[in-house]
Structure 1
């Protein structure tokens, strides 16, 4: 039996009306909101990625390098101390390093028995005051003298809590006692007091007249001592130097200890 084609009808008109319009508008709004959320999220992620990348680069690139360490013995006109009284740590920056603020540097030194955590003499954040008698207008030698002989009620003897610095090379003249910022190419000497309690009667340390007023550092760098120095900057990798002092200092006033 042949179907009757007259029973079927064909319509070429689509459904239009307010309902369809509402659905269309709702879909557009949802797409717009989703796009807005994606754009905002991608912007936030981009900012976080840039910030993280900058911090990671700074952590990797900010590196102090210990070039050498010398030990100096206290002396009088005729005798020298049996222990080392002062460490002169020559420090530079790695190639491509970001600037390093020594005012925020922490130096941890141990003689295998006692440990001192030292901050720069101009840092007043940790103990509420600068190193006793420290002045940004002083030359490095004057501040070194105060490091060796100065003391205050809090925290105590300068030698146990502070270090001072003298610049060796500073091409852009950006380094000062009050603003110790190191840039690539700069070279400085960091002074660390290691005066032993048995060496308080000597009158001179590295050309600085102490008149037997040097203060005990709570450290003892005698012959055959194992010494460790760790430098922790505000940002960047820590720098560490370990060495064992010679079996005898002989008649030398200055002894090369590292490398």
Structure 2
């Protein structure tokens, strides 16, 4: 007798349903897209902050002010019309440095020292330094070249292309400077005096200028001091 052989087939019911796999795939794509969008947005914000920080850092380490030259003026003795033995007025010619931004002289602070005394000066919107102003605390400025005519006593903003002259009193007594009596500044800029000027703007690094007055003033009313 032959043995009966029976074949048994087992049905496999473990296959994935197609629609479920598709839903999972779409969800994964959406999550990846959202994550990518967040990363892109964060990258943009960081880039803007880095650019802003870089611009601020550049402004802090650069100076917008360029000192082109300094002349000294000797005053007339108000009593006998003789030239002073000292330099009694400094005329500082300035401009905006290459690539610099407009500069508000109303926010500029100037420090001047003759090695013994030091004066700290801020802007005064008067056109002259005379007996009505404290020469130990103020400086004035006028435009030599101002193409757009925007610079004024009440709006002392130096723009690109402007040429501005700053006046700093260094009078050592009651002298006439161009017919105007000047107050004593407390400074004594006689021959061979080491002078230091520091210009501190609202933004940017301070500009420092040092020079030594000539060994003799002779009969000169005006003397070149810098450069």
Residue number in structure 2 paired with 1:84:
87
Residue number in structure 1 paired with 2:222:
254
Query: Please, what is the CA RMSD of the aligned residues?
Result: 3.1
**Aligned pairs, how many?**
219
Contact 1:105-1:232 within 8 A present in 2 as well: yes
Unaligned runs of 5+ residues in structure 1 are: 123-133, 135-142, 152-157
Task: Choose which of 143, 150, 164 in structure 1 pairs with 2:132.
Answer: 150
Instruction: Judging by fraction of residues, say which structure has more strand.
Output: 2
Residue number in structure 2 paired with 1:195:
171
Following the alignment from structure 1 to structure 2, what is the Cα–Cα distance between the partners of residues 159 and 52? 39
Listed one character per residue, the Cα deviations across residues 52-90 of structure 1 (whole Å, up to 9, x for unaligned) are: 233244446653221111111121353122111110111
Q: In structure 2, do the counterparts of structure 1 residues 9 and 222 end up closer, same or farther at CA, with 3 Å as the change threshold?
A: farther
Residue number in structure 2 paired with 1:245:
213
Secondary structure of residue in 1 paired with 2:112: strand
Spell out structure 1 runs of 4+ moving beyond 3 A.
5-12, 15-18, 20-37, 56-62
Contact 1:62-1:98 within 8 A present in 2 as well: no
Instruction: Judging by fraction of residues, say which structure has more helix.
Output: 1
Following the alignment from structure 1 to structure 2, what is the Cα–Cα distance between the partners of residues 80 and 27? 90
Unaligned runs of 5+ residues in structure 2 are: 1-6
Please give the TM-score of this superposition, normalised by the length of structure 1.
0.72
Larger radius of gyration: 2
Please give the TM-score of this superposition, normalised by the length of structure 2.
0.81
Residue number in structure 2 paired with 1:208:
179
